[in-house]
Structure 1
Amino acid sequence: MMMTIQHISAFSNGQLGGNPAGVVICDELPKDKEMQKIAADVGYSETVFAAPVEDRWRVRYFAPEVEVDFCGHATIALGAALAKHAGPGVFTLDLNHARITVEGHFSETEWGASFQSPPTRSGPVASGVLNEALTLFGLSSTDLDMRIPPAVAHGGGDHLVLALKDRKTLQDMKYDLEQGRILAMREGFITLNLVYGETAQLFHARNPFPLGGVYEDPATGAAAAALAGYLRDINWPHDGHITIHQGEDMGVPSCLQAEITPERGASIRVSGNVRLIREPQIWEIK
């Protein structure tokens, strides 16, 4: 069985940056162990697999070490790839625990997509978990911007949100990957989302992904959706949208746009451009 793996960087800033994803569009999904092996060999934070089922696409996401239920940047990459494959339009995606849509576009001048996230929700962080997270990053409570209290925000998966008072503290972020993995696995955190609000609508973010064995992602659409939903929950003056700059401190500048409707818990629309990293790769499953 032969399949083609596309290498697409999502949420790119022009022809720079973005978060690489493997994209596999196939007639039938491979077995679990094969998808996991492909994702590990590709080596990106996620590889997405999609196969047509009636008028929809069955979609699964694999990090190098584990399957995840939803991945925003891989969804943007997939939506863009489907637009190139089948023409621009809206595609319905059946995930493990949700049905969402992604709208892809492709032209000579622009290539990208917008997805509608799963429903959002948020809640407080247990004090013991918060203290463990602060210790992990070498932070104290005085480093936090309490206008945006620590929270567990959900937008297809749970993300720990820590808002910081200043950009320099965010720039200096460091942590132990193994300790982060232990925390993330125990609490079910897809990512650990550290953010700094430069203005009410402009955020800078760093997004460790220890659950997947990745020190840091340069662009994370699922975390962007979760953050946007949380800002809505706390009545943040977002004015219906936020822009998130991520990856700058990694030297991989990325840009994510999130549109926020007034309805609490509703889907968040997350948009970004993509770029081709390299030519598609042919993979044989024996």
Structure 2
Amino acid sequence: MTTNAPGAASPAVLRYTAFSADPAGGNPAGIVLDAAGLDDAAMLGIAAEVGYSESAFLTPAPDSASASASASASGQAGRAYDVRYFSPQAEVPFCGHATVAAAVALAEHGAGAGDFVFSTRAGTVPVTVTDADGAPRATLTSVEPHVDEVTAADLTEALASLDWPADDLDPALPPRIAYAGARHLILAAATRERLADLSYDFERLAALMRRLDLTTVQLVWREKDLTFHVRDPFPVGGVVEDPATGAAAAAFGAYARELGLVPAESELTLHQGADMGRPGVLTVNLRDGDAKVRVSGAAVRIEG
């Protein structure tokens, strides 16, 4: 691990898991609370060394004017940080689980619970940390989301990469590309068994995702009206599967609302990671009249 300054000390890297109160569950993230002096190569090197699907690198906003501008733009006051996210192979514009983990890490390392404003490559993301009965929980508010069609040819290629017959899709949840800070292709399985059986062509799917500028493919199965099980292949990040994906959860919330699959005012529960042995729970809140999506979850430090 290196910094821009020769001979500078290596930065402290914290390890937290998000969307679980159990260190063995959820999605782990590396967290650097003060990344000042790190260049792109250094951040990528740290992310690769840590080896998690994402690591977050925070730098306090340079001045109070910047903090005020960020808070004003988001409609929520809070302590301001510039944040960048790296997988072991590349930078991504936004990562939900690393945002939740980073906010809880800030709260536990001197900042305390309350409001933060993260300035990301995708836009301004307000985050609130609460402490209920000693269990910290963070809620992020997405950037403005949108949902796009997926072409028949791209859908065919995605299904071929996954080795999914078209008949295994749930016709009630049509394929779309959804964005709430990063782009995700949403495909709905007709059965839980289809979702559980994940074995795909890593390079083929990665090539399609690069062409479509996708961060993950979100595979979904609807258990009941507001409860879903999800999995997220992440080959473009050098990871077969992401255990709990906050950015995809936000995108999915926008998708479900736009297609009228859930009421405009809803709380969705997404279960992810069970098939990997790292169960986690993501809560997605939709507010009528507010296009932005809120994603909440617990986070806890991984010792060692």
TM score, norm. by length of structure 2: 0.88
Distance change (3 Å), C-alpha of 1:108 and 1:158? same
User: 55, 58, 72: which one pairs with 1:47?
Assistant: 55
Unaligned runs of at least 5 residues, structure 1:
280-286
Cα distance between partner residues in 1 of 2:231 and 2:35: 36
- Higher normalized contact order (CA 8 Å, seq sep 6+, divided by chain length): 1
Partner secondary structure for residue 193 of structure 1? strand
Calculate the aligned-residue CA RMSD, in Å: 1.5
- 2:201 aligns with one of 144, 152, 176: 176
Q: 1:58 aligns with which of 82, 91, 108?
A: 82
Secondary structure, aligned partner of 2:292: coil
1:117-132 matched pairs, under 5 angstroms? 117-132=142-157
Deviations 1:144-167, CA, capped at 9 Å, x for gaps? 111110000101011000011110
Cα distance change on mapping 1:73 and 1:27 into 2, 3 Å:
closer
* Conserved 8 A contact 1:21-1:46: yes
% of aligned pairs identical?
A: 40
**2:14 corresponding residue in structure 1:** 6
Match of 2:75 in 1: none
User: In the alignment, which residue of structure 2 is the partner of 1:67?
Assistant: 91
Conserved? CA contact 2:116–2:127, under 8 Å: yes
The answer as to whether partners of 1:29 and 1:50 remain within 8 angstroms in 2 is no
Match of 1:98 in 2: 123
- Residue number in structure 2 paired with 1:255: 281
Structure 2 counterpart SS, 1:92? strand
Aligned-pair distance for 1:259?
0.1
Q: Call closer, same or farther: CA 1:66–1:271 in 2, change over 3 Å.
A: same
Do structure 1's residue 84 and structure 2's residue 108 form an aligned pair? yes
1:35 equivalenced with 2:61 (yes/no)? no
After superposition, give the CA deviation of every residue in 1:68-124 in whole Å (9 maximum; x if it has no partner): 000000000011011112111110111113011111234772022110111111011
Q: Structure 2: how far apart are the matches of 1:107 and 1:259?
A: 18
1:147 aligns with 2:148: no
Q: How many residues align structurally? A: 278
* Structure 2 residue aligned with 1:282: none
SS at match of 2:49: helix
Query: Which structure 2 residues correspond to residues 102-251 of structure 1 after superposition, within 5 A?
Result: 102-106=127-131, 109-238=134-263, 240-251=266-277
| Unaligned 5+ runs, structure 2 | 1-7, 68-79
- Aligned letter for 2:114? G
Q: Give the Å deviation of 1:13.
A: 5.1
d(CA) in 2 for partners of 1:262 and 1:236?
14
Q: State the TM-score, normalized to the length of structure 1.
A: 0.93
Report the AA paired with residue 160 of structure 1. Answer: L
SS of equivalent residue, structure 1 residue 180 = helix
